[in-house]
Amino acid sequence: MNGKPLFLLKMVQYELIRKTERKVTSVYRKGRGRSKALTENQLIEAIETYGTTSPYRLSKFLNVSHMTIYRKLKQIPKEKILEIFKRIGESELKPYQMTFEGFMSIPEMRKFDDLLERRILSRKYKRRILRSIWRICINLKKHPRNLTIEECANFILKAKIKRIRGFSHLKHSIRSWFRLMHGVDSEILTNKGIDGACEYEIGLRARDRLTRKQRHSFLKALIEIVEDDSNEREFMDIWISLVYFLYYTATRIIATLNAHIEDIEKFHNKWVITVIDKGRYKKGRKKWKKLIMGN
């Protein structure tokens, strides 16, 4: 098929957004082309992160003039700044360790990073684990060497009740931490509530699904785009079939586009196609038999 499938699918997404979000607020129009002014909340967050009220130091981190910071500091009550430094004093982490880069300079985290590297994990998954441990330590105000199973189990319980997004990643990261750094058995962690089960928003447990109306809107926009493209107009049936295949077999776009015509075969009077999709990084991808719709 001629053309670039991924590019055209992105065009479809853009077309849907353009049609459903035509109203642009006047605030956006006025602010176009100009960087937003430093707010009081941003300055307070920077003071908490870097543990300083020096205009010169904060100007380097926030990329604004030190005089701007000086004027903003005068607007913040002294009681508020004292409260910030009191909170910093209660944490076991030093101010520079509250950033992810500073946190990774801790010897225990460097060792944990090396242990994860030996497990041949993907770079994205390894970074997700490291950032999860950072989030946990920031919330608990704990140095990673002082993390306990009980504290982490209570944190996981609160995250589950609040239905925090990325909940299962936190669990898996804590399990990896205690198993690799302390040699804790998986069964002990499971009994404490730190199990390896997936959360409610992943895979079959996902709550967000496209409605029939959204699917029809997507198809309508796709048809309009393909009809306007003289090179793709003759492949209209293929484009529509592709969308139905993605919707009703739950196959990712990349996996579908990497499939070949030779992968199609007949099985019990039905046509199926073999696609290589998600699987464990170090064990390779999995092969799936997908039923071709409409036969």
> ∠202-207-211 over CA atoms, to 5°?
125
pLDDT at 233: 86
Say which range, 139-153, 219-233, 280-294, has the weakest mean pLDDT: 280-294
Which residues fall within 8 angstroms of residue 172, CB to CB, at 6 or more apart? Answer: 129, 132, 196
pLDDT tens sequence across 162-219: 776 666 778 889 999 999 999 988 888 888 888 877 654 444 445 556 778 888 888 8
pLDDT, position 209: 67
Count how many Cα atoms sit within 13 Å of the Cα of residue 80 in the half-sphere of its side chain: 13
| Bridge partners for 270 per DSSP | 267
Instruction: Let me know if 197 is exposed, middle or buried by CB neighbors in 10 A (0-12, 13-18, 19+).
Output: exposed
* Band of pLDDT at residue 130, cut at 50, 70 and 90: very high
- Give pLDDT, residue 25: 39
The pLDDT, as a whole number, for residue 178 is: 92
Residue 135 CA to its chain's centroid (Å): 14
Say whether pLDDT at 124 is over 60.
yes
At a CB cut-off of 8 Å and minimum separation 6, what does 135 contact? Answer: 170
Mean pLDDT of the chain: 77
- For position 110, what pLDDT does the model report? 92
**Per-residue confidence at 230, pLDDT binned at 50, 70, 90?**
confident
Higher pLDDT, 11 or 145: 145
The predicted structure's pLDDT at residue 21: 46
Choice among 120-124, 222-226, 284-288 with the minimum mean pLDDT:
284-288
Query: So where are the chain's domains?
Result: 40-90, 96-205, 214-291
Average pLDDT score over residue span 280-291: 67
pLDDT band at 8 (very low <50, low <70, confident <90, very high): low
Among 35-39, 123-127, 144-148, the range scoring the smallest mean pLDDT is: 35-39
Q: Report the pLDDT value the prediction gives residue 181, as an integer from 0 to 100.
A: 92
* pLDDT score of 89: 63
Q: What is the arithmetic mean of pLDDT over 52-71?
A: 84
